[in-house]
Structure 1
Amino acid sequence: MKNTNNYTKLILLHPYIQKQGSSNRIWLLAFISFFTLAFLGTLIYTRESSSSITNVSKTSIVSSSSSPSPVSGLPVNVINTLLHYASKSNDTYHMPHSDLKPISDVLRKCSSPCNLLVFGLTHETLLWKALNQNGRTVFIDENRYYAAYYEELYPEIDAYDVQYTTKRSEMKELLASTKEQVTKECKPVQNLLFSECKLGLNDLPNHVYELSWDVILVDGPRGDWPDAPGRMAAIFTAGVLARSKKGGNPKTHVFVHDFGGEVEKLYGNEFLCKQNMVEESETLGHYVLERMDENSVQYCKNQSSSSSSSSSMASSSS
């Protein structure tokens, strides 16, 4: 009889072999997971870094754009072209290039947004609006129909009319009475909206008194005959607005056109002050006034000498 036990084969799978195979798979899975996590981490970090760089770039752009820059935003060659054609106009009363250039230079350097106030609607009205492209430009004129016509023709123009109560023939009397009221109604620092000073314009729109004007141009009203309003009130008002400004740059550039005129030179030196003059020609006076204390009672630092020189000028002109 054959012993079947001698031919029986028993195959056992040792537990170690099973564990070894499972362990290899676990290590492989762990290895893949590690690199997957590493890849995702690298991807997230790269995105965050690029986002940070983008944010920094945007911040730099915003910071640079918020810094003072030329208010007009126009290239220099465009500005020069506008000045050239404006000065070559066939209009009888156009400004020469020598007058346009100083005003343009100040507007170009004025920090944005620049506030420009202009007395008079003239041949250069559209030019001032264009040069002060990113700022606020307001025009004041004595002719309500002309102001309305201009606004209808050019809706972007911000123009208002004002009723002047002065006469050019009263130039000396108005000067004397204003100096007598320097500590009362005609103070150099005040809110003209509530003023009773004869030379103070108190019927302008409210925002004209609230805005801090960086540049003021006096190129109106008319003063060619005795009953014409003259520029006495405009020059006085410009001086008060400049000294009474609440915010922004403490300095205000005030230009007086037709500076060779008797009223323009006399009132300019009296209420804008000769020591504030930075440039003068036969047709343009350029003053720079600074904000003053509300308790001030003198228009000029050396008021006595200024007054005597103005009085002698007035006497010699009579």
Structure 2
Amino acid sequence: MKNSNSNTKLIFLHPYIQKQGSSNRLWLLAFISFFTLAFLATLIYTRDSNSNSTSATTSNTMHTTPLSTNTPLPSAVINTLLHYASKSNDTYHMPHSDLKTISDVLRKCSSPCNFLVFGLTHETLLWKALNNNGKTVFIEENRYYAAYFEEKHPEIDVYDVQYTTKRSEMKELIDSAKEQVNNECRPVQNLLFSECKLGLNDLPNHVYEVDWDVILVDGPRGDWPEAPGRMSAIFTASVLARSKKGGSPKTHVFVHDFSGKVENVCGNEFLCRENLVAATHSLGHYVLEKMDESSVKYCKNSNNHPSGSASSS
């Protein structure tokens, strides 16, 4: 039997060895922590620098090249829009000559230009585009079509109005307006408070407060005796033009389908032949000046009776 004590070996772990291993691990941990913090600091600094640089660049760009809402459409764009609008297959589209006449006036209009249009037509989007720097408002007789159009084209500002006139009553309505020229049917007034049979008094309040530079009468319908006709639209346009408080003293009023009896007769009665600067078979162009509040005549020539279609000038 061997002595177990003779094979027994005692191993002593020196304290220095334990401390040395622990110290190495601490140094390694400290080294990793240092570089981790350095990396995070560098990442944050770089991101902030890039963000500030981008902000500064954007700010400088905004100061050096501001976005302008008053930049007119290039001539090439306008000509292209007119070309395709006039080539439409729509039966009731305007000819190129009429489109260009109205477009030329809008281009010369001081910016921003205030443009009022009676009727939603094939050219509605064109008018909005051509007057892209200004205020364009449309007045439509059909409330359902107005709602549909505005939903489909949210950028279009359209209001519906209820016409109470009939095309067959044109003569009586004109006679009534003449009789009331000193009162309800004055040529200078705020139609919002008027009871004139030919005046539209149920438009939004702000429509009466705008100084309109250009007005186009291309509605409502007037193809049969019971249709509303354009008597009220023409009369209202004449009063709005003469009742301006500011802006340009002149207002361009266009009447489409000028060869029609209602358009021609009411144009001569309320817009006046002396204000007719040009006319074709389909478009009458009047230029009206604002009047004094005490005015009681629509036309300078009180003997200016309705006649046939105006000749081109």
User: AA paired with 1:296?
Assistant: S
Distance in 2 (CA, whole Å) between partners of 1:119 and 1:82 is 21
Q: Which residue of 1 aligns with 2:225?
A: 226
Distance in 2 (CA, whole Å) between partners of 1:237 and 1:177 is 15
2:104 is aligned with 1:105: yes
2:294 is aligned with 1:295: yes
Residue 154 of structure 1, CA deviation: 0.4
Structure 2, unmatched stretches of 5+, are: 1-62, 309-313
Distance in 2 (CA, whole Å) between partners of 1:72 and 1:164 is 37
Q: Give the fraction of aligned pairs with identical amino acids, expressed as a percent.
A: 79
The within-5 A match list for 1:140-159 is: 140-159=139-158
Q: Which residue of 2 aligns with 1:202?
A: 201
User: AA paired with 1:256?
Assistant: V
Q: Which residue of 2 aligns with 1:48?
A: none
SS at match of 2:145: helix
User: Does the Cα contact within 8 Å between 1:107 and 1:131 map onto a contact in 2?
Assistant: yes
The within-5 A match list for 1:104-123 is: 104-123=103-122
Distance in 1 (CA, whole Å) between partners of 2:80 and 2:288 is 30
Distance in 2 (CA, whole Å) between partners of 1:252 and 1:115 is 10
The within-5 A match list for 1:16-165 is: 73-165=72-164
User: AA paired with 1:286?
Assistant: H
The within-5 A match list for 1:222-301 is: 222-301=221-300
User: AA paired with 1:142?
Assistant: E
Distance in 2 (CA, whole Å) between partners of 1:251 and 1:110 is 11
How many residues are aligned here? 245
User: AA paired with 1:297?
Assistant: V
Residue 135 of structure 1, CA deviation: 0.2
Distance in 1 (CA, whole Å) between partners of 2:197 and 2:154 is 33
TM-score with structure 1 setting the length: 0.75
User: Does the Cα contact within 8 Å between 1:140 and 1:159 map onto a contact in 2?
Assistant: yes
Q: RMSD value over aligned CA atoms?
A: 1.8
User: AA paired with 2:209?
Assistant: E
Distance in 1 (CA, whole Å) between partners of 2:244 and 2:125 is 26
SS at match of 1:242: helix
Structure 1, unmatched stretches of 5+, are: 1-57, 314-318
Residue 98 of structure 1, CA deviation: 1.1
User: AA paired with 1:207?
Assistant: H
Distance in 1 (CA, whole Å) between partners of 2:101 and 2:74 is 17
Distance in 2 (CA, whole Å) between partners of 1:107 and 1:182 is 31
SS at match of 2:186: coil
User: AA paired with 1:187?
Assistant: R
User: Does the Cα contact within 8 Å between 1:72 and 1:108 map onto a contact in 2?
Assistant: no
Residue 124 of structure 1, CA deviation: 0.1
Residue 72 of structure 1, CA deviation: 7.2
* Structure with more of its chain in helix, by fraction: 1
SS at match of 2:115: strand
SS at match of 1:266: helix
User: AA paired with 2:181?
Assistant: V
Distance in 2 (CA, whole Å) between partners of 1:222 and 1:72 is 36
User: AA paired with 1:219?
Assistant: D
Distance in 1 (CA, whole Å) between partners of 2:71 and 2:294 is 36
User: Does the Cα contact within 8 Å between 1:217 and 1:255 map onto a contact in 2?
Assistant: yes
SS at match of 2:285: strand
Runs ≥4 in structure 1, deviation > 3 angstroms?
none
